[in-house]
């Protein structure tokens, strides 16, 4: 791969690889119910979709005496029942198989201890050369540490990587790290590159490869 070419595609998990909004809602509402608290409102639901579990718990338990107990509980609870509420994006495995033959693949997500079981259940772990969750960094997204960690591992420059995300947090992460960004199924994001399906994402990546390979 040329030093000017695309060497890696980095995926966000929630909202890109999976429609996990309902799973997240069920998960955090379960935590709240365990401490006798009402379900999340719409604002809280939007927040937990984008932020780490640590920040999400602190946000939805703000003003209660249960925050630390809820943090401890979530670290020990079994996430498996909530995996059934996740919907893997159509065409994801096919795209990963195609891309893996010609570039390095990674995940950069604000998921924490639930990520390994999700990748295992859906048989996705084998496709990725590196996976970075919020537990693997000191400063989760939108700080660029997770992306920098991946770039360092692959020994590539920011311009050699594409990050696929669906939220403002993802866009800010990409901008802070200097990688190219593809907005996935979110027309509200101010991004030059967009895709609304895995098939479209494959075309975006292929076109980008061709553009970079041109003399």
User: Residue 135: which domain range?
Assistant: 8-19+87-213
Same domain, 144 and 40: no
Contact 118, 12 (CB under 8 A): no
Identify the band that residue 211 occupies on the pLDDT scale cut at 50, 70 and 90. Answer: low
Q: If you average pLDDT over residues 7-34, what whole number do you get?
A: 96
Residues 72 and 124 in one domain: no
* Structural domains counted in the chain: 2
What pLDDT shows up at residue 49? 86
Looking at residue 78, its pLDDT comes to 87
- If we measure between CA atoms, which residue out of 86, 61, 63, 84 comes closest to residue 74? 61
Do 94 and 76 fall into the same domain? no
Residue range 40-52, pLDDT digits in tens: 999 999 999 888 9
Same domain for 64 and 156, yes or no, is no
SS3 call for 183: strand
Indicate if 109 and 190 belong to the same structural domain: yes
Same domain, residue pair 35 and 141? no
For residues 170 and 112, the model is more confident at 170
128, 100 contact by CB (below 8 A): no
Same domain, 73 and 143: no
- Residues of the chain with pLDDT > 90: what percent? 88
Please count the CA atoms within 13 angstroms of the CA of 182 that sit on its side-chain side.
27
pTM (predicted TM-score): 0.88
Question: 25 near 53, Cβ under 8 Å?
Answer: no
CB of 103 closer than 8 Å to CB of 129: no
Helix axes 42-50, 53-60, angle to 10 degrees: 160
Dist. CA 68–CA 21, nearest whole Å:
24
């Amino acid at each position: 791969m040329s030093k000017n070419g695309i060497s890696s595609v980095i995926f966000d998990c929630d909202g890109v690889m999976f429609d996990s909004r309902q799973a997240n809602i069920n998960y955090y509402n379960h935590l709240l119910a365990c401490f006798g608290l009402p379900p999340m409102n719409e604002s809280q639901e939007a927040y937990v979709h984008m932020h780490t579990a640590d920040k999400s718990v602190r946000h939805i338990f703000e003003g209660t005496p249960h925050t630390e107990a809820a943090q401890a509980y979530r670290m020990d609870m079994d996430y498996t029942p909530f995996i059934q509420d996740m919907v893997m994006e159509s065409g994801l495995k096919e795209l990963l198989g195609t891309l893996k033959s010609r570039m390095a693949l990674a995940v950069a997500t604000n998921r924490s201890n639930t990520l390994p079981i999700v990748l295992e259940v859906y048989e996705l772990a084998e496709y990725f050369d590196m996976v970075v969750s919020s537990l693997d960094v000191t400063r989760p997204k939108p700080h660029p540490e997770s992306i920098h960690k991946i770039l360092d591992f692959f020994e590539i420059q920011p311009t050699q990587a594409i990050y696929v995300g669906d939220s403002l947090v993802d866009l800010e992460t990409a901008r802070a790290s200097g990688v190219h960004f593809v907005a996935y199924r979110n027309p509200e994001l101010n991004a030059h590159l967009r895709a609304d399906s895995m098939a479209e994402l494959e075309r975006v990546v292929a076109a980008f490869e061709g553009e970079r390979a041109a003399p």
